[in-house]
Amino acid sequence: MNKLLLTIAIALLSIPSINSQTTDKEVTFGGRIMYDMATWGAEEFDNIGTEFRRVRIYSSGKMYGTVKYKLQLEFAGGKIAFKDVFIELNKLPIKGNLRVGHFKEPLRLEALTSSKYITFMERGLPIASAPERNTGAMYHTTFGEKLSIQSGVFRNSDAFGNDKSATNNVNITSRITYLAISDGDKLLHLGISNSIRKNSDNDYGFSSRAENHMGSELLSVEFTNQVKDVNIIAGEMAYVNSSLSLQGEVIQTTVNTEIGQGNTPFTHEIISYYGQVSYFLTGENRPYKSSLAGLGRVKPKKNYGENGWGALEVAARFSAIDLQEDGSLEDFTIGLNWYLNPNTRVMLNYVMGELTDGAGEITTENAVMMRIQLDF
């Protein structure tokens, strides 16, 4: 299977005309490469590693003005997997669009923002406790240029979007956003989302590193054979004023459990959140792409090598996962981003992570990380 997909991918990249457009069809090919280097440890930086964090190619397009598609493959980690693979019907009789396939559930701004455009090398800690891509169907629409609604039904799937299990696990995920301010280089985005998740296997869990993909797994949460359902509620905010950008999200995950038959259910609450600030030293601003795609591509005022040095951005973020009496994981990250041009970026992050377990024992892990990123 992997050899077949690799052959298809090579064939796609070998097409002489990468992007084509006719009266009835628009087809685009592209991809991204992200190469990471890191050193990390507790008291000393005694670990060194490198990896291709993401290596992706994709094809997307629009047919006859009413049908869109995307096919995206991931090659990082020595395995091939689906990312976004979907077909979307536009201009439905009732206002809106219907997307079917394997794609991100509409939950959380940072999760929906492409990895090409996020401010730091890794998303904040809350990404561990919230779902990303699954197989399903989603309706989404906008009202004017400010209000957006997305709602879908999903099932947990494997790396190729398949779900052949004879179970009744169903996830219903919805999101509403409002662009309160949209005036030149000023914007204020607000949103709220909810996911109700029913897993017939009666379990739920996740794990997290300290925002260092090559680092140690510090936090592990697992509920086994006792979960009735999981309810996730998230609030999001992004504010841009010229070169200044603020962003934050709060996620409450409620795990409803019971022990044995007929026992009174009880709940476990997990609170995760982050807040971040960034500033462009060279005068650029972070653009808004759309409600469903989040923030977009930064374009330097002067590209590197074209009578300029590109764009420079400094950033800081605090994020946490709070397990209440069972402990917490907290991270503080500072970053420096150099945008050579709209498609090339060099990132430098310093991460300070601290795990406090239920007994009050503290484990720390710090990291210095660098990424070279190109998309085409």
Instruction: For residue range 273-284, list pLDDT tens digits in order.
Output: 999 999 999 999
**Residue 232 CA to its chain's centroid (Å):** 16
Please give the pLDDT value at position 12: 55
Please give the pLDDT value at position 57: 95
For residue 206 the two structure tokens come to 């996740």
Please give the pLDDT value at position 118: 97
* HSE-up of residue 3 (Cα within 13 Å, Cβ side): 0
Whether pLDDT at 246 is above 90: yes
Tell me what the mean pLDDT of segment 336-355 comes to.
Answer: 98
More confident residue, 201 or 137: 137
Tell me what the mean pLDDT of segment 232-239 comes to.
Answer: 97
Beta carbons of 333 and 353 less than 8 angstroms apart: no
Question: Would you place residue 2 in the very low, low, confident or very high pLDDT band (cuts 50, 70, 90)?
Answer: low
Whether pLDDT at 105 is above 50: yes
Please give the pLDDT value at position 257: 84
Whether pLDDT at 30 is above 80: yes
Please give the pLDDT value at position 156: 85
DSSP line for 36-103? EEEEEESSS--EEEEEEEEEEEEEEEEETTTEEEEEEEE-GGG--EEEEEEEEE-S-SSSSEEEEEEE
> What percentage of the chain carries pLDDT values higher than 70?
90
Question: Would you place residue 145 in the very low, low, confident or very high pLDDT band (cuts 50, 70, 90)?
Answer: confident
Q: Could you state, in order of their start, the residue ranges of all structural domains in the chain?
A: 31-52+86-375
Name the most confidently modeled range: 3-17, 248-262, 350-364.
Answer: 350-364
Tell me what the mean pLDDT of segment 234-244 comes to.
Answer: 97
Please give the pLDDT value at position 18: 54
Q: Which residue has the tokens 């964090």?
A: 53
Count of residues in the chain: 376
**What is the reported pTM?**
0.90
Read off the DSSP letter of residue 288.
E
The reply to whether CATH 3.20.20.70 applies to domain 31-52+86-375 is no
Whether pLDDT at 311 is above 60: yes
Question: Would you place residue 370 in the very low, low, confident or very high pLDDT band (cuts 50, 70, 90)?
Answer: very high
Beta carbons of 256 and 264 less than 8 angstroms apart: no
Tell me what the mean pLDDT of segment 70-76 comes to.
Answer: 94
pLDDT in tens, 330-339: 999 999 999 9
Whether pLDDT at 226 is above 90: no
Tell me what the mean pLDDT of segment 118-125 comes to.
Answer: 97
Q: What is the mean pLDDT of the chain?
A: 90
